[in-house]
Amino acid sequence: MSTATTSTDLRIDPELVPIRDRVEAGERLSAEDGLTLLRTSDVWTVCRLADQVRRRMHGLTTWYNVNKHINYSNICALSCTFCSFHRKKDQDGAYQHSLDDIRREALGAVEAGATELHIVGGLHPWLSFDYYTDMMRTIREHAPSVHIKAFTAVEIVHLARVSKRGRDGYDGILSVLRDLKEAGLGSLPGGGAEVFDDRVHDEAFKGKIRGDVWLDVHRAAHELGLNSNATMLYGHVERLEERIKHMLMLRRQQDRALAAWADGQGIVGQADPGDGDDQAIVLTGPDDRYPRGRLPYLAPGEEDEATQGWFQTIVPLPFIPDESELQHLPGPIGLENLRMIAVMRLMLDNIPHMKAFWIMHTLDMAQFMLQNGANDIDGTVVWYDITKVEGAGTHQETTVKDLKRAIREAGFVPRERDTLYRPVIRDGRDWRIESEHVEAR
């Protein structure tokens, strides 16, 4: 790498100089910029820029939550090559939880002070739609204060088929989400996005929904006032260009989701470099661009009246090869994972939060990621069956004490949040959401 001297006398890849200037000015980065960030050997400059952006957006605040994951069944009609979670019905290790099991899990979560249940499963071939709405109602009845974040986009499309609404396309998806919301669903997790590209789809997860359908499901959720998260599962058969394409597709959809809100905030849209007529809503600029607040926020109690949701968090997921059909691939490690966190922070300038999911990165690496763009370390988790790093079993739990320690030692201030990023005030297992909204600093 050739180097040049910056005003602060640090060495920087000259190709990153114009990108640094655009980041400092709060301008949207282009696809070419994204590729440069992915290719440069000057990873530390990329990380430093992401840290600058993260501090602008969130100051020193770093979020964690007290949550519990439930996988209601690992029986799945699909057999994605990257996935080691799925089982066929009679296969060893296949399981399916009854609603009684779910009730017990929900009560256990309340007992442990959880504010969130994160519920996903395989595409179960025989369970009826009632199972899913009854699951929501059971939790609502026994754990009314707990937020239910459940079902990836591919599960929603599966439920449209199961409930005979599959042929209705977008309307079928809307109608399924409406029923689930009515039964208690509070938001959608970001899983199942993988990489939005048909070539990658056909090679690694054929049979699963394509990127446009994943985006439709989240658009429908946003239309119903439900917030959602987004992921990218990287480091398998995709190319760097395809990673950037994925980010740009998410960014474009988020511009549309935030357009009306941004208008009300007096945030001036920018022209999007090389891409469409939509105004770019950039949330990563200098403070004076956001006189009425930088980040979209849903006040406590407004959930039912919300008419427009958005992507809250981006969760980069490194491909973990163990026990999958793609286990001959190495999977991304250390520096590559740090770089991805940073590049996604810089490119996804309109997604408020960036999560370093410690289960997939390890807590040690997630701690590093807090200094490279991430402002959220996820939660206590408890049970996790989808990936197992370094020989972990399904019991994968950490304590609030360890999460706070990781955050503090990285130089940040830990704050507990609920699923919708509102500060939680806690007294043992009892908690409430702070009603006054103050932007994190």
- Please state the closest distance from residue 389 (CB atom) to ligand V47, in A: 9
- Please state the closest distance from residue 42 (CB atom) to ligand V47, in A: 27
Q: How many CB atoms lie within 10 A of CB 385?
A: 19
- Please state the closest distance from residue 140 (CB atom) to ligand V47, in A: 20
Q: Which two tokens stand for residue 102?
A: 């779910």
> Interface residues with ligand V47 (CB under 6 A)?
82-84, 152, 189-192, 194, 229, 231, 233, 315, 317, 319-320, 324, 357, 360, 378, 386-387
Name the residue nearer to ligand V47 (CB basis): 28 or 87.
87
Contacts of 75 (CB under 8 A, 6+ apart): 86, 87, 88, 89, 94, 95, 96, 122, 124, 125
Name the residue nearer to ligand V47 (CB basis): 114 or 262.
114
SS3 364: helix
- Please state the closest distance from residue 192 (CB atom) to ligand V47, in A: 4
Backbone angles phi, psi at 62, to 5 degrees: -130, 130
- Please state the closest distance from residue 406 (CB atom) to ligand V47, in A: 16
Name the residue nearer to ligand V47 (CB basis): 317 or 348.
317
- Please state the closest distance from residue 315 (CB atom) to ligand V47, in A: 5
Name the residue nearer to ligand V47 (CB basis): 131 or 311.
311
- CB 275, CB 248: distance < 8 Å: yes
Name the residue nearer to ligand V47 (CB basis): 26 or 186.
186
Cα–Cα distance for residue pair 41/63, rounded to 1 Å: 30
Q: What strand order describes the sheet that includes 376-379?
A: 376-379, 61-65, 413-416
Cα–Cα distance for residue pair 315/173, rounded to 1 Å: 23
Cα–Cα distance for residue pair 350/273, rounded to 1 Å: 14
Q: How many CB atoms lie within 10 A of CB 436?
A: 7
End-to-end CA separation in angstroms for the chain: 36
Name the residue nearer to ligand V47 (CB basis): 23 or 209.
209
Residue whose pair of structure tokens reads 């990108």 in the numeric block: 19
- CB 406, CB 55: distance < 8 Å: no
Name the residue nearer to ligand V47 (CB basis): 129 or 205.
205
Element housing 426 (H / E): strand 424-427
- Please state the closest distance from residue 349 (CB atom) to ligand V47, in A: 19
- Please state the closest distance from residue 337 (CB atom) to ligand V47, in A: 11
Backbone angles phi, psi at 57, to 5 degrees: -75, -40
Q: Among candidates 68, 69, 88, 70, which has minimal Cα distance to 78? A: 88
Residue whose pair of structure tokens reads 């980010």 in the numeric block: 247
Residue number, nearest CB to ligand V47: 191
Angle between helices 99-111 and 129-142 (to 10 degrees): 30
Name the residue nearer to ligand V47 (CB basis): 154 or 162.
154
Dihedral sign computed on CA atoms, order 21, 26, 32, 33: positive
Q: Which two tokens stand for residue 2?
A: 């050739």
Element housing 211 (H / E): helix 211-223
Name the residue nearer to ligand V47 (CB basis): 153 or 347.
153
- Please state the closest distance from residue 165 (CB atom) to ligand V47, in A: 22
Name the residue nearer to ligand V47 (CB basis): 40 or 62.
62
Name the residue nearer to ligand V47 (CB basis): 16 or 420.
420
- CB 150, CB 118: distance < 8 Å: yes
Q: How many CB atoms lie within 10 A of CB 81?
A: 15
- Please state the closest distance from residue 228 (CB atom) to ligand V47, in A: 8
- Please state the closest distance from residue 322 (CB atom) to ligand V47, in A: 7
